[in-house]
Amino acid sequence: MRVVIAPDKFKGCLDAQSVCSAIAAGWKRADPHAEPDLCPMADGGEGIVAALVAATGGRMIIRRVTGPLPEMKVDAAFGMLGDGRTAVVEIAAACGLALLKPEDRDPMATTSFGAGELICGAIDAGAKHIIVGLGGSATIDCGIGIAQACGLTVLLAGGELVSPTEPLTGADLEKVIFIKHGRGGKVDRITLSAACDVNNPLCGPNGAAAIFGPQKGATPEQVMWFDRTLARLAERTGHQQLALAPGAGAAGGLGFALLAYFGASLKPGIEIVIEAVKLEERLRGADLCITGEGRLDAQSFMGKTVGGVAGLCRKMGVKCVAIAGSVEATDGLVAAYAISDGDISIEESMVRAAELIADTAESLARREFKSGSGC
């Protein structure tokens, strides 16, 4: 029986590669001769670098870059995929909200500069195509920090050019009047794909500031200021239409910046990941695909990993089941299995996640063989 294992992470306890390994271990208890195809997945947010590197036989590269605050330095990883020409950068690795203590969260003071340094590091490592995973940022700087770090021309009010070494922050948004790319810099020689798992525009009641600002430390007054200032920046730089694009508001406006200033394509993260790991090719001729994530609910089928994998399996006529920490919805799946039947606490199930996933996979394999599917 040919099985493709393509889950996302179990957030808070196991990354996608570890989930793959646990499912494979359980399956092989029932079928010791099995050689399942392990294909860790992600949908554009946290974990996309690790998943794509593992799925393609790539490698991690560490760079010392600016953190979410201009005075911070962090060790951040990007991935070079197995094809040797594609890199994947996770915004959150450099300017992630998780890198700050709650009391230090202030989008007026944070910057995306370090994410730009990571992009430059990937280019220096030989990347010709860079996938940028949006999500989890501590910023609402609309990518002015990334533009600055990547060498784009950034002009301030009064005609002043920005310093290349003093990171711009959210508070500087109202000063920026012009951003220009296409001047022969290193980013002009590559293609960028932005992997996004939200559909928010840049501004308005569903925009970057209104929806994501409070979790980044913005006060109600700051939310209103950012919303007005982001709209004015889009107008000043001539990109009002791009500000309306689904996903433009991702990662504090980084979706908009990559569209407007880098000529990037902005696509649902799961679509980019499916293409990068060649999942369609790997599913061809498979008897079964096992996907999964920590919590399977209605959101799982709205641009997330499980829904994307299940949709591709339907298209290809491959049976698709899921293993999850909890199951509240099963749209498009043949079946879904929770790793616990409720007789243990959520905390214990997270601690024992690898063990429970393996046990569930073993039961699934025996069920498949008993039904004749594996014969």
Whole-number Å distance between alpha carbons of 267 and 48: 14
Structural domain boundaries, residue 20: 3-40+278-370
208, 243, 270 - which closes a domain: 270
| pLDDT above 80 (res 369) | no
251, 270, 289 - which closes a domain: 270
In terms of domains, do 27 and 114 share one?
no
Note the pLDDT of residue 374.
54
339-346 contact pairs (CB < 8 A, 24+): none
* 72 close to 96: Cβ distance less than 8 angstroms: no
**Averaged pLDDT for residues 331-346:** 89
CA 342 to chain centre: 30
CA distances from 175 to 110, 160, 359 (A): 16, 10, 57
Q: Which of 328, 285, 287 is nearest to 306 (CA)?
A: 328
CA distances from 192 to 121, 257, 263, 295 (A): 14, 12, 7, 31
pLDDT > 90 in the chain, percent: 79
In terms of domains, do 228 and 346 share one?
no
| In a domain? residue 294 | yes
Note the pLDDT of residue 375.
38
| In a domain? residue 375 | no
| In a domain? residue 136 | yes
In terms of domains, do 216 and 344 share one?
no
In terms of domains, do 15 and 127 share one?
no
Give residue 183's region: left, alpha or beta (phi > 0; psi -120 to 50).
Answer: alpha
* 304 close to 44: Cβ distance less than 8 angstroms: no
In terms of domains, do 176 and 238 share one?
yes
Query: What CATH number corresponds to the domain at position 309?
Result: 3.40.50.10350
What are the tens digits of pLDDT across the range 83-115? Answer: 999 999 999 999 999 999 999 999 999 999 999
Whole-number Å distance between alpha carbons of 54 and 67: 25
| pLDDT band, very low/low/confident/very high, at 163 (cuts 50, 70, 90) | confident
Note the pLDDT of residue 373.
60
CA distances from 284 to 38, 110, 164 (A): 14, 45, 49
**Averaged pLDDT for residues 148-159:** 90
State if pTM tops 0.75. Answer: yes
Q: Which of 97, 112, 299 is nearest to 215 (CA)?
A: 97
Whole-number Å distance between alpha carbons of 334 and 319: 7
What are the tens digits of pLDDT across the range 46-73? Answer: 789 998 999 899 999 999 999 999 999 9
CA 372 to chain centre: 38
In terms of domains, do 150 and 53 share one?
yes
| In a domain? residue 73 | yes
pLDDT > 70 in the chain, percent: 98
Note the pLDDT of residue 303.
82
In terms of domains, do 123 and 243 share one?
yes
Mean confidence (pLDDT) of the chain: 93
CA distances from 66 to 146, 248, 329 (A): 11, 23, 41
DSSP 292-308: EEEEESGGGGSSSHHHH
In terms of domains, do 81 and 15 share one?
no
Q: What angle do CA 210, 259, 82 make, to 5 degrees?
A: 110
What are the tens digits of pLDDT across the range 171-185? Answer: 999 999 989 876 667
246, 270, 294 - which closes a domain: 270
In terms of domains, do 54 and 99 share one?
yes
Q: Which residue has the tokens 């073993």?
A: 362
| In a domain? residue 155 | yes
Query: What CATH number corresponds to the domain at position 218?
Result: 3.90.1510.10
The three-state secondary structure class of 107 is coil
In terms of domains, do 258 and 362 share one?
no
In terms of domains, do 82 and 209 share one?
yes
**Averaged pLDDT for residues 206-213:** 96
| pLDDT above 70 (res 270) | yes
In terms of domains, do 286 and 239 share one?
no
| pLDDT band, very low/low/confident/very high, at 38 (cuts 50, 70, 90) | very high
Domain count, the chain: 2
